[in-house]
Amino acid sequence: QKEVEQNSGPLSVPEGAIASLNCTYSDRVSQSFFWYRQYSGKSPELIMSIYSNGDKEDGRFTAQLNKASQYVSLLIRDSQPSDSATYLCAVNTGGFKTIFGAGTRLFVKA
Amino acid sequence: DAGITQSPRHKVTETGTPVTLRCHQTENHRYMYWYRQDPGHGLRLIHYSYGVKDTDKGEVSDGYSVSRSKTEDFLLTLESATSSQTSVYFCATTLDTGTSGPRGNEQFFGPGTRLTVL
């Protein structure tokens, strides 16, 4: 079992819709959770961090964390074509160890 | 933007040759990391550094070595490149994993180096 799992996609949504990206992790002691966006040929860019159970909103982005279910998600409201990218889920299990999922490719159709 | 640069940005080399990739940061971040990214595998940690001359291995360290003689520079060396080391290499930094709380684990990435070993 991979430590951080994401559906590779592609996830295709129409412009203006809500995109829902999901991630599960295996290490129950994980404390910090991150979502990175990576455009093709570019480096990952941090877009959301979440550290406690519940929802955290930042603009059109909402991160959701459920530690009991070992599940973290990212919702993108009013999706735009510019949101088309690969989204990486990352989990810090303590100290230097941050594990990245393989990413979910998102396509937003105009 | 953590002010991270990587050089070279692209390199093509032959099997058996040594290769050194450089990461330079201007943010005075204490921690630096080298990752490789391959299709289907996501980002995998090669080596990391928690201070000048303090380094340790990640999950895919075989065939790689690192050095950090200054806070701002972290070098990754492939002593004898192999075709399996063809990849995109990213450098990353974090402020501090210990004293800054969970935000200290937020990673900032350089632009990457695309390495091809023929």
Q: What is the pLDDT of residue B42?
A: 85
Determine the distance from the C-alpha atom of residue B98 to the mean position of all C-alpha atoms in its chain, rounded to a whole number. Answer: 20
The gap from C-alpha A4 to its chain's centroid, in whole angstroms, comes to 11
The span from the CA of A21 to the CA of A38, in Å, is 14
Composition of chain B by helix, strand, coil, percent to 5: 5, 55, 40
CB spacing of B102 vs A46 below 8 angstroms: no
Residue contact A46–B107, C-beta within 8 A: yes
- Which residues of chain B have a CB within 8 Å of the CB of A51? 102
Give pLDDT < 70 ranges for chain A.
1-2
Q: Does residue B102 surpass a pLDDT of 90?
A: no
Sign of CA dihedral B104, A99, B20, B80: positive
DSSP-derived 3-state class of residue A69: coil
Helix (H) or strand (E) holding B114: strand B113-117
pLDDT band at B101 (very low <50, low <70, confident <90, very high): low
Residues of B in contact with A100 (CB under 8 A): 35, 42-44
Q: What is the pLDDT of residue A28?
A: 85
Q: Does A43 touch chain B (CB under 8 A)?
A: yes
> Do B64 and A62 contact (CB within 8 A), yes or no?
no
- Whether omega before A10 lies within 30 degrees of 0, making that bond cis, reads yes
User: What is residue A62's predicted lDDT score, i.e. its pLDDT?
Assistant: 97
Please indicate whether, in this complex, the C-beta atoms of A49 and B110 are within 8 angstroms of each other. no
* pLDDT at residue B27 tops 60: yes
Nearest CB to A43: which of B40, B42, B109?
B109
Report which DSSP code applies to A16.
T
- Per-residue confidence (pLDDT) for residue B100, from 0 to 100: 56
Task: Tell whether the model's pLDDT for residue B112 goes beyond 90.
Answer: yes
- For residue B39, the model assigns a pLDDT of 86
